[in-house]
Amino acid sequence: MPEPAASCSAACDALLARQTSLFALRCAKFLPTPYQAEDNNRMTLAYFCLSSLALLPATAVSSAATADQSALDVLLKPTQIQGFRDWVYEQQLPTGGFRGSDSLASTDTADLDTAHVIQSYTALIVLGILGDDYARLDRPGLLRFVGDCQQEDGSFAQFPKCEEPGDLRSTYSAFAVASMLDDWTFIDVDRGLAFLDSCRRYEGGFGQRPGSEANAGPTYCAIASYSLASRLSTLARPHDLLRWLVSRQVRPPPPPPQSEASSAAGDDDEVPIELGERAGFQGRANKPTDACYSFWSIAAIHLLLPALDPSLTLDQVVDPALDRAWLLSCQHPLYGGIAREPGALPDVYHTYLSLAALSLGDAGDSASQQLGLHALDAAWNVSRAVKARMRERLCAGAGGM
């Protein structure tokens, strides 16, 4: 019989690719009832579903598929792909940006039926995943829209004249759109980076707004924005930032005891955790691990390392194998999909970000067992194959202006 450790390793390396592919496909076609409250973010939800399918291997759902195909290539019919494309363009408003859902047009709140910079970013990616040629994209209008979202402090609001202040999520989205369209003339990059710097915290990471606690999500947005603008070499205190990111990989807390008796037994049998032993990632200090933070942290480290030392690799600073074991333990064994933690119900947000983290972790772990996921571009947050296709077609569209 195999050693217990070997059995655990084999079980942890089992990605339920077929079940998760079908989970993402179901959600792309029919979102469950709990997502009704998120209808204004339907564009981003579509991005999570379709991006998951673009990372998952086609061989998991079809014996006739080739290694270069994704699950999306074999699961979506041409008529479905065209239907998705048409729906995305229905969300393109005369202002040039994209809204999150066409159902918002019937609401009484005018602010809801407006273009949003985050939805515009995810709309460009959704179209790229679907192989669109961007012929219907209002490129000049989109450039003007994103430029109008920039505020006096350099941040970007969700939409022009939005009452809520700008934050790192919308600022990253604006930088990503500029990178995708390969046009930075419509935004003030220096002011945008100055806003990012104002969100830097004493411990090394970035908060969502100036004065907010450092969190892995905004920290990724800041590092990715610097990377997209080709300014990583100017990022202050990069070693402090790396130290803060690396310290986010921790062991999850033990499950609560079932009874006082079991609690006492657990205390007696507790095995101390060795210094440096890690598993998943937390978003900020003194918080539990959460599957989504594996992506925000690993992607940020992946982008930061070349600016620090090109010889450094991901598995030299964190443990991708332990993180992989943690993420795969968050899978639902029957329905597929990945939840925020083991035993919870899966959702499209944690499923996609976990797959994205697994893709980066497999590429960076020299001792890993490859899961067959397609390679990810950490800055755009989309598969490399999709990014290459987007770059070619968006640049071709720019040439025809």
| Dihedral angle computed from the Cα positions of residues 69, 70, 76 and 79, in that order, rounded to the nearest 10 degrees | -50
Measured between alpha carbons, how far is 109 from 39 in angstroms, rounded to an integer?
14
Which residues lie below 8 Å from residue 379, measured CB to CB, with a gap of 6+? 176, 179, 224, 227, 228, 303
- Tell whether the torsion through CA atoms of 12, 15, 16 and 22 is positive or negative: positive
Backbone angles phi, psi at 290, to 5 degrees: -145, 135
| pLDDT in the model for residue 155 | 96
All domains of the chain in start order, with CATH: 18-30+40-104+111-253+284-399 (1.50.10.20)
pTM across the whole model: 0.89
pLDDT tens for the 401 residues of the chain, in order: 333 333 333 334 588 999 999 999 999 998 888 888 888 899 999 999 999 999 999 999 999 889 899 999 999 999 999 999 999 999 999 999 999 998 655 444 545 568 999 999 999 999 999 999 999 999 999 999 999 999 999 999 999 988 888 999 999 999 999 999 999 999 999 999 999 999 999 989 999 999 999 999 999 999 999 999 999 999 999 999 999 999 999 987 666 665 444 343 344 333 333 444 558 999 998 899 999 999 999 999 999 999 999 899 999 999 999 999 999 999 999 989 999 999 999 999 999 999 999 999 987 776 555 789 999 999 999 999 999 999 999 987 665 44
* Whether the Cβ atoms of residue 190 and residue 226 lie closer than 8 Å to each other: no
381-385 long-range contacts, CB within 8 A, separation 24+: 381/51, 381/125, 381/224, 381/299, 381/356, 382/51, 382/54, 382/125, 382/128, 382/129, 383/51, 383/54, 383/55, 383/70, 383/359, 385/54, 385/68, 385/70
Predicted local distance difference test score (pLDDT) of residue 79: 96
Is residue 366 a contact partner of residue 358, using CB atoms and an 8 Å limit?
no
Closest CA to 229 of 273, 260, 183: 183
Residues shown for the chain: 401
Distance CA 28, CA 80 (A): 11
pLDDT of residue 34: 81
Strands 280-281 and 376-377: unpaired
Closest by CA position to 240, among listed 221, 225, 224, 219: 219
